[in-house]
Amino acid sequence: MENKENILFIGNPGVGKTHLSVSIGIEAAMNRQITYFISCNDLIMNLKRALLENRLDARLKQYAKYKVLILDELGYLPMDDTASKLFFQLIAKRYERNSTIITTNKPVSEWAETFGDPVLANAIVDRLLHHSHVIKITGRSYRTKNVINDPEEE
Ligand SMILES: Nc1ncnc2c1ncn2[C@@H]1O[C@H](COP(=O)(O)OP(=O)(O)OP(=O)(O)O)[C@@H](O)[C@H]1O
Ligand SMILES: [Mg+2]
Which pLDDT tens digit goes with each residue over 67-121? Answer: 999 999 999 998 999 999 999 999 999 999 999 999 999 999 999 999 999 999 9
Nearest-CA residue for ligand 1 atom 14 is: 14
> Using an 8 Å Cβ cutoff, are 1 and 67 in contact?
yes
| pLDDT at position 53 | 98
**Which ligand is in closest contact with the Cα of 141?**
1
| pLDDT at position 119 | 95
* pLDDT (mean) for 125-130: 96
Angle between helices 40-52 and 56-65 (to 10 degrees): 150
Residue type, 153: E
Task: Say how many Å lie between the CA of residue 18 and the centre of ligand 2.
Answer: 4
Task: Find the residues whose C-beta lies inside 6 A of ligand 1.
Answer: 11, 13-19, 73, 103, 105, 142-143
For the chain, the domains span 6-140
Task: Say how many Å lie between the CA of residue 49 and the centre of ligand 1.
Answer: 30
Decide which of 3.90.1150.10, 3.40.50.10470, 3.40.50.2000, 3.40.50.300 is the CATH code for 6-140. 3.40.50.300
Query: Could you give the strand order of the β-sheet that contains 6-11, starting from the edge strand earlier in sequence?
Result: 35-39, 68-74, 99-104, 6-11, 132-137
